[in-house]
Amino acid sequence: MAARARRKFSRMRGTHTHGWGAKKKHRGAGHRGGRGMAGSGKRADQKKPTILKLYGNAYFGRHGFNRPQKMVQKIKAINLDNLQSKLDSYLEQKLVIKDKEFYVVDLDKLGYQKLLGGGKLNIKFKISAQYFSKQAVKKIEEKGGTIVQEDVPSK
């Protein structure tokens, strides 16, 4: 493996200009007339007629506006098979209640807003949530469970 070459700034110690020629070069933005649109006549009268002739009135000032963005509410969802696999831990934490052959689940307590229909269902559920997918509703009702759709809080 090749040895790593030393960097230029350490090799140039004691050379006065560090390889940039004359003393005043490579100081900062001053040697190139400023940064960005500096010197274009935005702040005083320098060069304005030339710039207007070359680029037109659109060169100066700010144009247009940005519309304020709406705050989009993220909906947290869970699949049926994920809910089923985590059921034991939810029972231990008393977030889910067993009522005869049904498991009573409030998805809001679990931190979810929507139930998705992914996976196979082996258990009967009584589920309340804000949103359900069509597949989830179909699978729960086929198994003999019930669904309670909560009112979505208004903004």
For 29-85, the DSSP string reads GGGGTSSTTTTSSSSSSTTHHHHHHHH-GGGSS-----PPPP-PPPPPEEEHHHHHH
pLDDT at position 113: 92
Domains of the chain: 77-149 (3.100.10.10)
Determine what percent of the chain is predicted with pLDDT higher than 90. 12
pLDDT of residue 152: 65
pLDDT digits (tens, 9 = 90+) for 100-115: 888 898 999 989 999 9
pTM of the model: 0.53
Q: What is the mean pLDDT of residues 110-130?
A: 89
Are 107 and 128 a contacting pair, CB within 8 Å? yes
Give the pLDDT score at 58.
84
Residue 76 has pLDDT above 60, yes or no: yes
Mean pLDDT of the chain: 85
